[in-house]
Structure 1
Amino acid sequence: MKTATALLGSLAAVLLTRDAAAYSPGFDLFDHTSQLNFYHPANPFYPLEQTKLPDACKVDQVHIVSRHTTRYPSKGSYNGVARIATKIKDALAGNATTLSPEFEFLRTWDLSKMITNPTAQVENITALGLTEAFEHGAQVRSKYAHLYHKDMTVWSGSVERVQLTAKSFMNGLFGQAAADNHYVHLVTSNSSDKSIAGNTLTPIDTCTKFPKGIADPYQAKFVATWVPQVIARLEARWPGFGFIQDDVLGMMDLCMYEMNLSGKDQRHFCMLFTDDEWVNYGYNKDLGYFHDSSWGNPLARTTGLPYVKAVGKLLAQPKTASCQNIYVAFSHDTQLMAFMTAYGLNKDAAMAGEAVDRDRRLRSSRMVPMGARLVTERLNCGTQGSFVRALVNDAVVPFEDCKDGPGLSCSIEKHLVRLKNIEAEAGDFMTKCGVVAADGLSSELKLFDNPQRNLCTNLC
């Protein structure tokens, strides 16, 4: 029979394990990790049987705009995690001879092994990111083989990680020919040129009146409802560390960076936090996107409009002037969020900072992970006619005001009408963004009007 001391010891061990937190085995972590996570397909909002297309429907034109794939931390984020790494090192060098089990990995953890050359790596694409982009290109080649052409044009923003994503995608799409031809079919849009108005893949950057920091008070209010409790829990597990808010949020960011840089199964930082804490983390990120680049920002639809109009113009053409049928472009997460908002996807009327809205539609984890992609397909359904649908990270996301077609799609006629209505609501880009009229400036995105090659003379 166990002694009272042994029983108490066993009970203490159970309590220690329970208090050590960690998300539960059945918890869907990736549905709450927001924009820092490597690419993963989105959880669908609708059952697959509702979005399945009948055999008669075939894609005959497709548009893809993608975020760059997995990158190293941004400069600001790197500075934050580097500060945490130094704080951990100092704490371990001091009074930390005994650590709670969940913190033991920190004895050998070294940020410099994850990010070996910050000067070259910070802000840039990772090896995983290059692989993701290559695989995406190969998937597009396979899925839309009937629309593929060896000389089709691809478009990209000018930031290095975006261009590298585009080139690796082209390696997967075209094979070795892409590199052999020095990526001659890649058209780069200058992301730093503030004077090109709507003719850009980064319209938020060229909209001079685009409001910044709208989300700050909402996020500050929400963070105050849950992070103090996390600080108290972690401090009880590691007394004397002196946890602060930036430590908590930074360690949660390190969850994704560890997976991105050390291996997808490396989740030591992820395991420091509970299910509810991850739910709160994801909602905090969603507050940021909602108010800064989506429905809570008065110019989000305005900035996203040029892209959806450009796509709409091509969808309306039975055959495009260049005979290109696959249009692929690369940009950034906030820009994609604006494009999705202009389309009317995942609309929420409001998103407050009091508590998690578990019924919200806007979920950045499903919308803008690394390598996120917004796909617009035109469907030829034979005698039923032509239809349009949107997919976000492989999940069909219906236009809520038009989803009565096959697989919750929208008839091409109704879609073109809804784009006119969206334009009326969003307003003119140059006018609302405060861009001064000048020769050559326009509210239109015209990049797709003139691909590098006219494919009509060589359809193969």
Structure 2
Amino acid sequence: MSSKLLAFGIAAIVSAGSLKPTSTSELADYFQTSFGPYAALMGELKGPTQVGSAPFLAQTNPAPFGNHPYVPNTPIVTDVPIIGQVDGAEIFKYMGNLSPYMPNPSGFGVEEYPLPPGSNITQMYMIHRHGSRYPTFGDPVPVVYFHTRISELLGNGTRFTGNLSFLNDWKYELGTEELTALGRQQLFDSGVLHWFNYGRLYDSSVPLIARTTTEARMLQSAENFLNGFFGPNWTQNVTLEVLIESSGFNNSLAGNEACNNSHTDRGYVGDGVSTQWRNKYLQQATERFRQSMTSNANWTIEDTYIAQTMCPYETVGLGYSPFCSLFTWDEWLGFGYSLDVSYYGSFGFGSPVARALGIGYVEELVARLLHHYPQPDDDSIAVNETLDDNARTFPLDQTLYLDFSHDTNMVAVLTALGLTQFAEFLPLSDPPLNHQLITSHLVPFAGRLNIEVIKTSRPVLAQRSEQPGDSVYESTGDETIYVHMLMNQRTIPLGRSIPECGQRDDGWCELKTFIKAQKENIVKANYQESCFGDYPVPAYGNITSGAI
């Protein structure tokens, strides 16, 4: 489908400055923000959005857990005792893309420094994942059908005993496709945080355009963030541009939709690998489940994995889940790794299409940094040329760029940016020590990537002195502009992936060097062949560059 297709089909008014209309009919389709026909699409799967049952933690919260010290919920209950748990550790930091938001707890191997005196952040580019959500019809793990599986077993005479006895009366109470209340809070809180961090970059004299997609949770996320950033009258400060998220539409915030091979086995190399890992780490758990049932012959490892996945979903939707304590600490570490290998193989450097999925955003980032419209080669059109060739829908003079996307797309963007720090092969034997592609550190619910452009009066020393009072600047040199990249509030050391940036202890990279590297990465995506080529499905491990 042509990349010139416009986003359309939704029907409410959100506007700012000179874009303010007098009626809905006068508003461009891509600035209309109530739910439309693309709000609940997931590839070719359709399903209505649905809010789950209201939580009732005051009644259902089982804390305190025996002799476990009582910790008030805030608002969800994550202080669940786990067999084999390390003191102070928490399983919700190891739930991959289903983890509630947290700043990266361990960082990316570089120091965090304050801004040098006399330097200034001149621009900030943000790409933000939606907040905690209910399960979707497109999830690779069919959580939405788990209640059918339990009802089938109960109907066949199976009864659950011991720790599983709650399943005899359990009801599925989750919604579908939408943000949970926690998800709305995460985005609002993030908006407040970003206001404190970057509020002074907002220029009220320039109408600000923020972008999201047509899916319900994407609209909800953008609106809650903007409410936190600007307040309840945010529509007076920013216009929300809504891009169609549906198969065949070019959309840099959902790059899979226009990439044919991302919808085939070529685009899901990680899924099969994740299944192999589950079959290894969940053997003992599956046997425990079978021992707590009568007539349990048909209970599978896949059933066990879905039960484990219920824990993060019920927690972010209802506040607490009895499924969490059914698994040991090592089994939760295994759960996190099952998502790491899945994302590595399908959206990271182990995928033949990953760079292609994320390269549209990289093309737009380079264009914004250079203050001109994207200029992709004819065989590398990963952007919507209509929207990205128009000052009204792709402004070039903003100091803040606020985009909202998905976890899969964001991992693909990191791959397209050439961040080889996350390229280490993830074997099925055991997780490598200190591996970097940890999905809970990269794309938890409400994860965010911030790219700061920093102007300094002179070059900043690559190795800053630890002595108080020492200057951080080189003794000579001219004004210099740097890029500083943060993932979930922790610095990504650009020199670790882009050697030309240098091995700086602040992780920065000179802007001209960064742009040059990204222009080269656009070519490395091999967009046309990766997305539309008729090549064999690669075996896991055969692709290590993120492109065919």
Any conservation in 2 of the 1:388–1:412 contact (CA below 8 Å)?
yes
Change beyond 3 A, Cα 1:88–1:41:
farther
How far apart are the structure 1 equivalents of 2:330 and 2:340? Answer: 15
Higher mean C-alpha deviation, range 46-55 or range 295-304 = 46-55
How far apart are the structure 2 equivalents of 1:56 and 1:286? Answer: 41
How far apart are the structure 2 equivalents of 1:84 and 1:323? Answer: 54
Any conservation in 2 of the 1:222–1:355 contact (CA below 8 Å)?
no
Change beyond 3 A, Cα 1:240–1:22:
farther
Are positions 1:111 and 2:172 aligned together? yes
2:511 alignment counterpart:
412
1:44 alignment counterpart:
106
Change beyond 3 A, Cα 1:421–1:331:
same
Matches within 5 A, 1:319-338: 322-338=396-412
Percent pairwise identity: 24
CA shift for structure 1 position 57: 3.9
Change beyond 3 A, Cα 1:94–1:249:
closer
1:256 alignment counterpart:
312
How far apart are the structure 1 equivalents of 2:92 and 2:115? Answer: 27
1:447 alignment counterpart:
none
* SS at 1:26 equivalent: coil
CA shift for structure 1 position 306: 2.2
Counting matched residue pairs gives 398
How far apart are the structure 2 equivalents of 1:23 and 1:240? Answer: 31
Change beyond 3 A, Cα 1:45–1:142:
closer
Unaligned runs of 5+ in 2: 1-81, 373-393, 460-479, 534-548
Are positions 1:389 and 2:484 aligned together? yes
Change beyond 3 A, Cα 1:220–1:406:
closer
RMSD: 2.9
Any conservation in 1 of the 2:110–2:493 contact (CA below 8 Å)?
no
Code of the residue aligned with 1:368 in structure 2: it is V
How far apart are the structure 2 equivalents of 1:31 and 1:229? Answer: 22
Matches within 5 A, 1:4-403: 21=83, 23-46=85-108, 49-75=111-137, 77-86=142-151, 95-96=159-160, 99-100=161-162, 102-103=163-164, 105-106=166-167, 109-112=170-173, 115=174, 121-150=175-204, 151-178=207-234, 185-192=239-246, 194-196=248-250, 200-210=252-262, 211-237=266-292, 241=296, 243-263=299-319, 266-317=320-371, 322-345=396-419, 346-384=421-459, 385-399=480-494, 400=496, 401=498, 402=501
CA shift for structure 1 position 341: 0.7
Match of residue 433, structure 1, among 531, 535, 538: 531
Code of the residue aligned with 1:421 in structure 2: it is E
Any conservation in 2 of the 1:307–1:339 contact (CA below 8 Å)?
yes
Greater relative contact order: 1 or 2 (C-alpha under 8 angstroms, separation 6 or more)?
A: 1
Q: TM-score scaled to structure 1, two decimals?
A: 0.78
2:31 alignment counterpart:
none
Higher helix share goes to which structure?
1
Code of the residue aligned with 1:209 in structure 2: it is N
Any conservation in 2 of the 1:57–1:379 contact (CA below 8 Å)?
yes
Change beyond 3 A, Cα 1:89–1:256:
farther
Code of the residue aligned with 1:411 in structure 2: it is E
Code of the residue aligned with 1:223 in structure 2: it is R
Change beyond 3 A, Cα 1:212–1:327:
same
* SS at 2:132 equivalent: coil
Q: Give a deviation string over 1:387-418, Cα, whole Å, max 9, x none.
A: 11221111212222235446211111211121
Unaligned runs of 5+ in 1: 1-19, 116-120, 436-460
Change beyond 3 A, Cα 1:46–1:72:
closer
How far apart are the structure 2 equivalents of 1:126 and 1:155? Answer: 21
Any conservation in 1 of the 2:310–2:321 contact (CA below 8 Å)?
no
CA shift for structure 1 position 51: 4.9
Change beyond 3 A, Cα 1:136–1:66:
same
Q: Give a deviation string over 1:302-330, Cα, whole Å, max 9, x none.
A: 23122123212323459x97531110111
CA shift for structure 1 position 23: 3.7
CA shift for structure 1 position 194: 0.9
Any conservation in 2 of the 1:71–1:161 contact (CA below 8 Å)?
yes
